[in-house]
Amino acid sequence: MTRGVALYEAARCLGCHEAPCTSRCPVKIPVYEFIASILSTNFGRAADLVYRANPLALTCGISCPSWKYCESGCTLRKLGQEPVRIRALHRFAAGQEHRTPVFPAIANRSLPVAVVGAGPAGLACAQALRMSGIAVTIFEREDRIGGNAAAHFPERRELQAALYEDAKGLLEDDHVDIQLSTEVGYRFLQEIRREFAAVCVATGRPVWRSGQEPYHGQTMTGGPKDLLQALYNRRSPLPPDIVVEGNGRAPLTIAMAATGAGVGRVRLVTSGDATVSRPWHRDLREAMERGVEVIRHTRVRAYQVLPDASYVLEAHDAANGETRQMITAAFASVTAREREPWVDAVEEKAGNLYVAGEASTAETTLTAAVMGGLRTGRSIAANIADRRNRGDA
């Protein structure tokens, strides 16, 4: 967004007294205040406001589903107009003057806190802990920070750069130790919980599930491309065509990966409406440019496996009430994304174990993960302060 467009969009804001946009924001960014700062060309204050509420402001400015949060409450929508482009203004403000936090000194008699996972939730948790004067050690399974968002989102390269920019303060802080390429499981957690004041598990939901036979119940760690590869491993050579069913970025990424792998015909069946969100609409347009056939407002109600292992699908079109049949060599219904089983065992334990972000909630947006990380980090800090005041730490 250019300066001129930002000023135009900011001028469209009605400045509602009880701003519904702010109330629908998971991290409660003061939307009207930072937009008013943009309108008055006080870009420094706008950056201060968004970073004070959200330490990953630049990252969320790229991929936050604003149509689900702030923009869904914009009063202009009720008046029959397009809502203010709040997410784009958020990104503009964060990109003008990046705010690297100044962390306080380490409090006396404080043991460090371990954060498992260097995705948005883990980084937000670490930020909240450091702002409370607590040293942090971050354990990450991959060889880079960023988590699922930086690995699997269509705009992953842009997200990775934004995450590193937002995490610069943590990466350069002497009291934050980031240990990459570290495999973490339940036994490892039981070991490190004795070495740290608290352990926050922010591992996301890396397990994907395919919902139809013969792949029903099949799970694998990783992202949509891993699921795609698992399906293909059962079919050699690659199937001539595939139907991918599901909503969101996972089935979309699988469909785009299929075209890149050389599958002749790729159809994406989604019950969603592409007009609901600009980012999804943009990604769908890119997918169609790559050759993906997008079938909207449709669900696969039933399927039959033929003797040659191909599928006959019964798909219902909700827009016109019609039911159609599709024949395809391969069918992938991405029905769920599940957390790793050992996280359930973690949540059953009391004491100094905490769970944050997608590992603990069904909400799978990046912004919700940030809010969960901040909330958990503040909860840990408050608990440690209470124990210190009682003389227990």
The CATH number for 320's domain is: 3.50.50.60
Contacts of 16 (CB under 8 A, 6+ apart): 32, 75
Residues 25 and 122 in one domain: no
Last residue of a domain, one of 317, 336, 355: 336
What mean pLDDT comes out for the span 194-216? Answer: 69
Q: Tell me whether residue 75 is in a domain.
A: yes
Q: Which pLDDT belongs to residue 39?
A: 95
Q: Tell me whether residue 103 is in a domain.
A: no
CATH number of the domain within which 67 lies: 1.10.1060.10
Residues 120 and 174 in one domain: yes
Last residue of a domain, one of 66, 96, 126: 96
Residues 325 and 224 in one domain: yes
Element (H, E) at 177: strand 176-179
Residues 260 and 161 in one domain: no
CB atoms within 10 A of CB 191: 8
Q: Tell me whether residue 61 is in a domain.
A: yes
CB atoms within 10 A of CB 10: 22
Residues 27 and 92 in one domain: yes
| pLDDT averaged over every residue in the chain | 82
Number of domains in the chain: 3
Residues 322 and 377 in one domain: no
Q: Which pLDDT belongs to residue 272?
A: 65
Judged against a pLDDT cut of 60, whether residue 228 lies above it is answered with no
What mean pLDDT comes out for the span 274-284? Answer: 57
Q: Tell me whether residue 105 is in a domain.
A: no
Q: Which pLDDT belongs to residue 340?
A: 64
Residues 309 and 161 in one domain: no
Residue with tokens 């599709």: 326
Residues 269 and 350 in one domain: no
Last residue of a domain, one of 41, 71, 96: 96
Report CA-CA distances (Å) from 264 to 87, 156, 173, 276, 294: 37, 26, 50, 29, 15
Q: Tell me whether residue 287 is in a domain.
A: yes
By DSSP bridging, strand 353-355 and strand 198-201 are: parallel
The fraction of the chain above a pLDDT of 90, given in percent, is 35
For the chain, helix (H) and strand (E) counts, in that order, are: 17, 14
Reported as a pLDDT band with limits 50, 70 and 90, residue 341 is: low
What mean pLDDT comes out for the span 128-141? Answer: 93
Judged against a pLDDT cut of 60, whether residue 249 lies above it is answered with yes
- Burial class from Cβ neighbours inside 10 Å (0-12, 13-18, 19+) for residue 242 reads buried
What gap in Å lies between CA 59 and CA 75, rounded to an integer? 26
- Burial class from Cβ neighbours inside 10 Å (0-12, 13-18, 19+) for residue 313 reads buried
Q: Tell me whether residue 18 is in a domain.
A: yes
User: By residue range, what is the domain housing residue 303?
Assistant: 208-336
Residues 157 and 232 in one domain: no
Q: Tell me whether residue 107 is in a domain.
A: no
CATH number of the domain within which 368 lies: 3.40.50.720
Residues 216 and 309 in one domain: yes
Q: Tell me whether residue 150 is in a domain.
A: yes
Residues 212 and 308 in one domain: yes
CB atoms within 10 A of CB 216: 11
Q: Which pLDDT belongs to residue 213?
A: 46
Residues 256 and 286 in one domain: yes
* Alpha helices (H) in 13-105, listed in sequence order: 20-23, 31-39, 43-53, 57-63, 75-78, 86-96
The fraction of the chain above a pLDDT of 70, given in percent, is 79
